[in-house]
Amino acid sequence: MKQYFSILFLLSINFVFPQSVYELNLGAKNNQIILELINQSDRLSVNNIQVTLKNIPNTLYIHSDFKECISLQPLEKKEVVLIFDVNQTISHSDTDSLVLLVVSSEGILFEKTFNFKYKLPEEFALQQNYPNPFNPITRIQYQLPAKTRLSLKVYDILGKEIITLVDEVQDAGFYEIDFNASEFSSGIYFSRLETDSFMKTIKMSLVK
């Protein structure tokens, strides 16, 4: 028995209007792809429909679970919502693809590919560590607008360097690194990010 239904895609990603490649902000939360399934038959039901994903890039964290089968009564429509976050620490601007499939026992009924490009930072920045105060591990985040050589070092209250966290060339992007102070005593420490054109220091409190 032939099944009649149509599929309408509505895309909403940070209120971006439809385009061939969707630009995502790094670290963006609760992005949505809304899939509307419509049974256009006025007398036949549609059963055992599933929405699945393939080629999920590791830059996206998918919240939704599509294991449940969907049934549509005559002229009924249902929405399936895909919710996802974007990795904060992507260090490239390549395009990723997410493939969404609508399948049944008869096979693939519909396939849609969404292409994403990530918006890279526009300026250098060093964020306040979190948590702060901390014991003994804290996370430091920073961003680079272009490929550059940088150093990220930690100093004690006397200005003595105690550890180098990063000392290398890195691509443009958002980064994070953990500082483990288990070998150091309680007190005030300073983390300094330095490039050829930028320098910033943050104050960190270790409380044991």
Q: What is the mean pLDDT of the chain?
A: 84
User: What span, in angstroms and rounded, lies between the C-alpha atoms of 27 and 144?
Assistant: 15
Same domain assignment for residues 162 and 193: yes
pTM of the entire structure?
Answer: 0.62
Same domain assignment for residues 141 and 202: yes
Decide which of 86, 119, 152 is a domain's last residue: 119
Number of domains in the chain: 2
Decide which of 104, 119, 134 is a domain's last residue: 119
For 47-97, what is each residue's pLDDT tens digit?
888 888 888 888 888 987 777 788 888 888 888 888 888 887 765 656 788
Same domain assignment for residues 105 and 156: no
1 within domain boundaries: no
User: What span, in angstroms and rounded, lies between the C-alpha atoms of 22 and 63?
Assistant: 19
pLDDT computed for residue 135 by the predictor: 97
